Structure 1
């Protein structure tokens, strides 16, 4: 891709489309990064971020986490984005499980002392 030169504006290039024997002319302008982003992708990014942040509160980080576009791995889904956690070692699995279990033990102790937690008013992270 050639970067635009400083002080040069992009010209609109006329494109001719033939539809059942008739010709129509369209002026297509330049696109930016937003051209590639879809609402579904943004929603997947929002929920994947919430997922990562929830585990980071437990001091757990998935280094290889990624979002795959629909049908990139058709064994799972053909129409939805997929959040892949990546590969973790046996030692990482043991560490992550220990951290999560310690947090759950602390929560259980809190509940024994103070009763059930109040449900927080949460917002949908995709909105």
Structure 2
């Protein structure tokens, strides 16, 4: 999942980059991090996001599918985030919080399986056939 991350640029060499992930404010959570260098921004904020998601899932019965990010265009115009002069999108794999994978036996027409496999190969958005089917199921269950 992609998260919008506000980045506050340090004012001097003794100050770190400050980061915020506003998506969690919908759950009355703050998600903050800091990094000494630009190349540490993504790993440090990913660690913070994973810790917040873990707590949301374990202690607040929030499903990973319920977590939404409104996008940096929404957050960047919010006066609450005026100190964050840059915005980046960080991709964080939340699959570890979705539960234990289980094997099931599903029968599908061979032509449909070929179409799924072609979509997996061509899009790059899916890890494999199972990931494709899981994403399609999530999409249908949201409606």
Could you say which structure has the larger radius of gyration?
1
Tell me the TM-score normalized by structure 2: 0.26
Where is the helix percentage greater, Structure 1 or Structure 2? 2
For CA contacts below 8 A with separation 6 or more, give which structure has more relative contact order. 2
